């Protein structure tokens, strides 16, 4: 898809592409795209720890179907700290972030 070329891809999980847009803003969040649908997860941080993850719709996009949204949520919950580190690396330290394909289903 066209939009996957203008942002750093972070992960692929069960076909869901998880990424940042290149010109993002706080709060820390990632988008998840699957077959033309898109949702995002906002990571709420307090005292340096992720305390809440909010799943949100993306304006102008159809949201992920319930099954993909659940897989997206599971992945984000289990990788929240790593996502925050990738955000810091990319947006604060201006480092490239490594793409990772996760092939095992998380529970």
Write down the pLDDT at residue 59: 93
- As a whole number of Å, the end-to-end CA separation of the chain is 28
Output the CA angle 18-19-22, nearest 5 degrees. Answer: 175
Tens-level pLDDT at each residue, the chain (107 residues): 444 445 789 999 999 999 998 776 778 999 999 999 999 999 999 998 999 999 999 999 999 999 999 999 999 999 999 999 999 999 899 999 999 999 999 98
This model's pTM is above 0.85: yes
């Amino acid at each position: 898809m066209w939009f996957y070329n203008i942002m750093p891809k972070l992960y692929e999980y069960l076909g869901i592409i998880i990424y940042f847009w290149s010109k993002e803003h706080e709060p820390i969040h990632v988008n998840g795209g699957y077959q033309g649908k898109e949702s995002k997860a906002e990571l709420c941080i307090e005292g340096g720890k992720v305390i809440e993850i909010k799943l949100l719709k993306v304006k102008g996009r159809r949201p992920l179907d319930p099954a993909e949204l659940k897989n997206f949520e599971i992945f984000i919950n289990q990788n929240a700290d790593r996502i925050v580190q990738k955000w810091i690396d990319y947006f604060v330290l201006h480092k490239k972030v490594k793409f990772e394909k996760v092939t095992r289903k998380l529970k």
